[in-house]
Structure 1
Amino acid sequence: MDEAGNVEAIQTLRLPLDQTAPSTAYQPDPSSIVGDNGWYRSFITITLIPLDLGSGIANTYYRIDGGAWQAGTHLVLNQEGEHTIEFYSVDVAGNVEIPFPVALKIDTQAPPTPAPPQTAPLSWTNLNSFDFIWSRPNDRSGIAGAYYRLGTPPTFNQDGTFTDIQVVDNIALPAEGSYDLYLWLRDGAGNVDYRRAVYVANAFRYDTTPPTTQAELTGALGENNWYVGPVTVSLTAADALAGVGSTLFRVDTRAWQTGTIALISGADKHTLTYFSTDLGQQRGTPACSDRAH
Structure 2
Amino acid sequence: SGAWDRIISFDDSSGRPNANIYWYSDTTNSYQSIENLSKSLLNPLQVELITDSEAPSTSASITPPAPDGKNGWYTTEPQVLLSANEPGATYFKIDNGAETVYSAAFTAPEGTHTITYYSVDTAGNKEHEKTLQLKVDSSPPELSADLLPKHQGNYCFINEPINISFDATDTISGVCSTTATVDGRPILDGEQLRFSKPGEHTLIVACEDAAGNAVSKTETFVVGYEVAWLGSSATEDDAGNTLISTKWYSSIPLRFTVRDGVGYFVEDRTVRVVISDGSNTAAFTYGKTSPTVRINPCDEKYLLYVYTKNYPWLTAGGTYTVSVYFGGSDGVPVILHDVATLKLY
**TM-score over 0.5 (shorter chain):** no
Q: Which has the higher strand share?
A: 2
Q: Determine which structure has more spread, i.e. the larger CA radius of gyration.
A: 2
**TM-score, with normalisation over the residues of structure 1?**
0.43
**TM-score, with normalisation over the residues of structure 2?**
0.38
